[in-house]
Amino acid sequence: MTRISMFGFTGSIGTQALSVIEKYQSKFELDVIVCNKNINLAVELIGRHNPKNVFVTDADARSEIMASCSSEINFFDSMHTLRQYLKLNKSDIYLSAVSSFDCIDLTIEAAKSGKKLLLANKEALVVFGKQIMHECKQAKTEVIPIDSEHFSLFTALKNKDLSEISKIYLTASGGPFVGQKLSELHNKTPEEALKHPNWDMGAKISVDSATLVNKCFELIEAKHLFSLGPELLDIKIHRQSVIHSMLEFKDGSVEAQMSQPSMIIPLAYGLLGGYSQDIKKDFSLDLLNRNIDLSLEQFPDDRKKLRDITLDVMNSEDNSGLVFATLNDIAVKKFLNKKIKFGDIYNLILDNYYLIDKKEVNSIQELESNRIEILNLIDGK
């Protein structure tokens, strides 16, 4: 049986991965699953899927979840204990799907495994991408990106000569506010920001999609995943989320990777080890569907300052990605808690990014220490 460890099993990606695993129960064994504090859903999923080991990062939630689950299931009492277990007990597949860059040390352990890492945690690469990819290469860990855009590039770039490519485009739906000017967005509510037109995602990534920060993160992610120069990467708005990426060649021709907007497609590929006829039955793209619209638009000019920060991060070898991601994390949490307006997400990022001193970060300990410094700096304002 294929042993799987999953970091972030109660989130959107985690629950979809479990739905794939449930269809092929005889193939898989759930070794370690990790969540934060979604108590009711965690108890339900643990009862249904019967993992060997569980870690709940929130201590209060951990006690409540443990009390509701079978005594035969082992619950780790600390991150240290979990990491020691992971060092000695290798899974065949790791899925890193934790929101933001929490539990990045677990992603590092998976990168060092020499096995297969399904990566659905873009902030991990934004803040620590060089180090994570270095660990993967050193250990010969196979990395399969689970974001639809990066999975499409994973497919598109196979057997391609990068010297023949003039541009690589990732597409963005534009989120619920597509086509609206920045000046119109300032007072948008969390309820409005969470209504993504094409995808069913968690709150954090839904807001990131609405601001377009998510797509900026994905450019940084693509740089690290595929060792791409920043000058190669760009964004196009594609409202229907059918085209996920495009390669423009030096002769002007373009190849597009298309599929239905579903994370099940890359998840099934990563979990099952290849393209699946079963998945095709449910998620085949009907090219004769008259409702398929392949229109493209430019990334909005009034969000150019976000792109400038993204380019700065991609051209830097320091903690610029950590600064960008941490500022965005702070802003999104404040917005979801209705402490700031939607437009203030941009203001918090743009007003602080260039003011924060940049430095090298070479370890998880330095990363966490630097993150706390940034949090304290913003809280002190």
Q: What is the pLDDT of residues 171-211, one digit of tens each?
A: 999 989 999 999 999 999 999 999 877 766 778 888 999 99
Buried-state track 157-169, b at ≥16 Cβ within 10 A, e below 16: beeeeeeebeebb
Q: What is the pLDDT of residue 119?
A: 96
Q: What is the mean pLDDT of the chain?
A: 94
Contact between residue 242 and residue 285 where contact means Cβ atoms under 8 Å apart: yes
pLDDT in tens, 225-267: 999 999 999 999 999 999 999 999 999 999 999 999 889 999 9
Radius of gyration of the chain (CA): 20
Q: Provide the 3-class DSSP secondary structure of residue 55.
A: strand
Contacts of 216 (CB under 8 A, 6+ apart): 235, 306, 307, 309, 310, 324
**pLDDT (average), residues 320-345:** 96
Residue tagged 């030096």 (tokens): 250
pTM for the full predicted model = 0.93
**pLDDT (average), residues 88-102:** 90
pLDDT higher than threshold 80 for residue 24: yes
Buried-state track 88-99, b at ≥16 Cβ within 10 A, e below 16: eebbbbbbbbbb
Beta strands 53-56 and 74-75, pairing class:
parallel
Contact between residue 4 and residue 95 where contact means Cβ atoms under 8 Å apart: yes
Report the range of poorest mean pLDDT among 97-111, 113-127, 155-169, 337-351.
97-111
Q: What is the pLDDT of residue 376?
A: 92
Cα–Cα distance, 364 to 371 (Å, whole number):
10
Q: What is the pLDDT of residue 265?
A: 95
Q: Which helix (H) or strand (E) holds 255?
A: strand 254-258
Report the range of poorest mean pLDDT among 91-100, 132-141, 150-159.
91-100
Q: What is the pLDDT of residue 349?
A: 98
Cα-based distances in Å from 360 to 127, 219, 229, 352:
11, 21, 20, 18
Q: What is the pLDDT of residue 101?
A: 74
Between these two residues, 272 and 100, which has the higher pLDDT value?
A: 272
Buried-state track 117-139, b at ≥16 Cβ within 10 A, e below 16: bbbbbbbbbbbbbebbbebbeee
Q: What is the pLDDT of residue 381?
A: 65
Per cent of the chain over pLDDT 90 is 85
Q: How confident is the model at residue 290 (pLDDT cuts 50, 70, 90)?
A: confident
Contacts of 288 (CB under 8 A, 6+ apart): none
Cα-based distances in Å from 28 to 93, 98, 117, 142, 266:
10, 21, 15, 18, 17
pLDDT higher than threshold 90 for residue 287: no
Cα–Cα distance, 152 to 244 (Å, whole number):
6
Per cent of the chain over pLDDT 70 is 99
Q: What is the pLDDT of residue 199?
A: 66
- The tokens describing 8, both together, are 């972030």
